[in-house]
Chains A and B, each alone.
Chain A
Amino acid sequence: MEITRRRLLMLLPAAAVAWKYVKAGTPEAAPNYQLTEHWWAMLIDIPKCIGCGSCVRACAEENDVPEGYFRTWVERYHVADWKIERPEVESPNGGKNGFPPHPDEGGKNFFVPKLCNHCADSPCTQVCPVGATFATPDGVVLVDKNYCLGCRYCVQACPYGCRFINPKTNTAEKCTLCYHRITKGLTTACCEVCPTGARQLADLKNPKDPIHEFLRTHDVQVLKPHMATGAKVFYNGMDGSVR
């Protein structure tokens, strides 16, 4: 078989269609929000948390989180005297309805709000086989629910237990750092409603953000620093028993 004029003409339309798809991959321009001008993080001031559960309720309402699942939750730690390695941790319904008084009033009691740490080197995005979860250029770890297979690799990979499979969509779900709010110039729902300012959204790329001064002047820690995940939720006043 040789390439006759007829055969070449038959091939040309196919090549043209192929070229159209190749060209279509060109990126589109983003709206006014500039992805490269932000690097989002959160600051949690443990000594300010009163365990009211406002953040948990607000998160569920803002993001339509199914009942019994949590994108953020509050834990109550009870450390009996010297048992720093064996704290009693409880989170009844994620702390959504507050906490009943602790039966043992002795020892040390405090609240720890938890959420996705939006790790810079996140294990969850590394294990996704289809590229359905990713860190955005502005430092937020998101899930593409149209691309997620529901394989649960990321749920197992997260060292902080921040992911779950949404029973309605059967796709992975997690805190988006209220991406739909922060890209409009608002704070997250949990930070908005926190009555004591225990949670603060922070933009590490903004030199005027008060977080820089706070980080310089306080003893701040991240959860599980030995995991080297590049966690960006910073905890002030965190007891050594917190896991």
Chain B
Amino acid sequence: MFKDIEHLIRLAIAMAIALVVFVILRGALVPRSFGQYGHYRGAAIAEVASRPIAFAGHDTCEACHTDVADQKKLGKHVVVACETCHGALARHADDPSSVQPKKLDTAVLCARCHEANSAKPKNFPQVATADHSGGIACDTCHQPHRPKIETAKNATEGKK
């Protein structure tokens, strides 16, 4: 039928080999999950999700520290999560005995939120700490978990 058909056969074999090499290289170089959800490596989603957490979340804290949770419920700080002040403590939640939270300095901590600033919402309680307390630690008078001073009894009981 064709003259010199062996040329075409040789070409076909060369192309077949090239195709096989391409498929092998593509299989080796393109990650397995590429294209699973879109034009990216699908496994990357699970990799990002596998990062360990640093903040345990207030539900975890309140599972053990029920006494503090009860105190907080009585005051305005009920909406403030534990780790806002106490810092990231997922490691403490995992191993409560060996990882202990740091002792906090209320003179610094309370001012972060309550130091007066003209950009803060007007209805948010603010003080100029220098005038308000003259640098005394806030927990001398206020109980941080239940900050409002209602009576002399409340101010001193249950300092946590």
Contact = CB atoms under 8 A, between A and B. Distances in A.
Contacts of B121: 47-50
B58 to A, nearest CB: 7
B81 interface: yes
Contacts, number: 165
B20 A144 contact: no
A179 B120 CA distance: 30
B27 A24 contact: yes
Interface in A126-153: 131-137, 142, 144, 146-147
A50 B113 contact: yes
B113 to A, nearest CB: 5
Interface stretch (B5-13, B62-70, B134-142, B150-158): B5-13
B83 A22 contact: no
Contacts of A110: 119
Contacts of A206: none
B88 A137 contact: no
Q: Give the bracket for the number of chain B residues in contact with chain A.
A: 35 or more
Given A1-B9, A54-B112, A192-B58, A15 B32 contact: no
A53 B112 contact: yes
Contacts of A105: 118
B6 A2 contact: yes
A20 B124 CA distance: 64
24 contacts: A2-B6, A2-B9, A24-B32, A25-B34, A27-B33, A28-B33, A48-B121, A50-B113, A53-B112, A54-B84, A61-B54, A61-B88, A62-B55, A76-B119, A102-B119, A109-B118, A110-B119, A131-B38, A131-B41, A142-B45, A144-B44, A181-B53, A186-B55, A192-B84
